[in-house]
Chain A
Amino acid sequence: MNPDERLDKIFSDARAAAPDIGKVEAGFETRLMARIREELAKGERPWFSLAWRLVPVFMAVTVSLGVWYYASVPDNPVDMRSMITAEYDDSMSMNFLNGG
């Protein structure tokens, strides 16, 4: 038997010897889930689960900002052009006073 044939025979025979995984397979998911719970208790939650849990927080922040915005808008809002112009005038006045 040449080396190639010998090696093929070894592989062929070894394939027939399926590794015994029964001992590890029994209760595997129980041990795994216990480990996962342990890791989670240490605060190592996967990022996506944290993201899902933060959805209500983001919703609350969005609603609060919306309420605050509408409550703080004046009855007669200054239009954009006059706001920009007023700021420009202020800036020119400051430059003049500072000798700029």
Chain B
Amino acid sequence: MTVSPGAVANSDVLSDERLIRAVIGGDDEAFTELVKRYKRKVLSTASRFARDSHELDDISQDVFMKVYQNLGKFRGDAPFSHWLMRIAIRTCYDVLRGRGRERLSVPLDSVDFALEGPSTGDEVSAREAKDILDRAMPRLKPDERLVITLIELEGGSVREVAGLTGWSEAKVKVRAFRARQALKKLIGERP
């Protein structure tokens, strides 16, 4: 089935399923509409794992390329957004595994932990917290980093993370626990 260009232009009323059928029918404009709908969600999640904006662009493009190439396999028994995010999480996990655990060029104890104290504004705290995590997270195992990021930074529940990763809830809990232990140890490495 092909959706006419006029229909895609009026795509607010088109469901994801109709757009998907249009893409399968060869309508690339419908795919552009799907990308516009979900790019923020994918970029936001991928940005937790990317090292810079170039890598973020690459990861996110890889996600949508996989979606485009496998759209014919989408059965529609779960919402499209869930299927998309599973692909996004799998892609991010593959990127983390490809990197392995990184050695830090700058030791953690060089970071100034100014999280307490009345003089620290919210914005400064947020930037410093991000800086601490940017340095500590690469030291975690890829599976631990994925789980702790999805739970603590993306606000996902254990059940949601299990659904996105395909791991059991018990496995997610264990990995989250190990990640927390490792992070506490890393952050406690200060002299």
| B-binding residues in A (CB < 8 A) | 1, 3-4, 6-7, 9-21, 23-25, 28-29, 31-33, 35-36, 39, 46-49, 51-53
Q: How far is the CB of A57 from chain B (nearest CB, A)?
A: 15
User: B152-166, CB under 8 A of A: which get 1 and which 0?
Assistant: 110100000000000
Q: What distance in Å separates the Cβ of B28 from its nearest Cβ neighbour in chain A?
A: 7
B26 touches A17 (CB 8 A): no
Decide: A7 near B184, CB < 8 A? Known: A29-B35, A29-B39, A52-B24: yes
CA distance A24 to B69 in the complex (A): 22
> B53-76: which residues lie under 8 A (CB-CB) from chain A?
53, 56-57, 60-61, 64-65, 68-72
Shortest CB–CB separation between residue A45 and chain B, in angstroms?
9
Query: What is the bound-complex CA distance between A32 and B35, given in angstroms?
Result: 9
Of the stretches B78-86, B89-97, B125-133, the one at the interface is B125-133
Number of A-B contacts (CB under 8 A): 113
A56 vs chain B, min Cβ distance (A) = 13
Q: Is B112 an interface residue (CB 8 A)?
A: no
User: Bound state CA distance, A23 and B122, in angstroms?
Assistant: 24
Interface size class, chain B: 35 or more
Contact A31 B61 (CB under 8 A): yes
Could you tell me which B residues sit within 8 Å of A by CB distance? 24-26, 28, 31-32, 35-36, 39-40, 43-44, 47-48, 53, 56-57, 60-61, 64-65, 68-72, 115-116, 122, 125-130, 132-133, 152-153, 155, 180, 183-184, 187-188
Q: Indicate whether A7 sits within 8 Å of B180 (C-beta atoms), given known contacts A28-B39, A52-B26.
A: yes
CA distance A7 to B184 in the complex (A): 7
CB-based nearest A residue for B57 = A24
Decide: B60 and A28 in contact? CB cutoff 8 A. Answer: yes
Complex-state Cα separation, A14 to B126, whole angstroms? 5
In angstroms, how far is the closest chain B Cβ from the Cβ of A18?
8
- B43: chain A residues within 8 A (beta carbon): 21, 24-25, 28
Residues of A within 8 A of B61 (CB): 28, 31-32, 35
B55 to A, closest residue via Cβ: A24
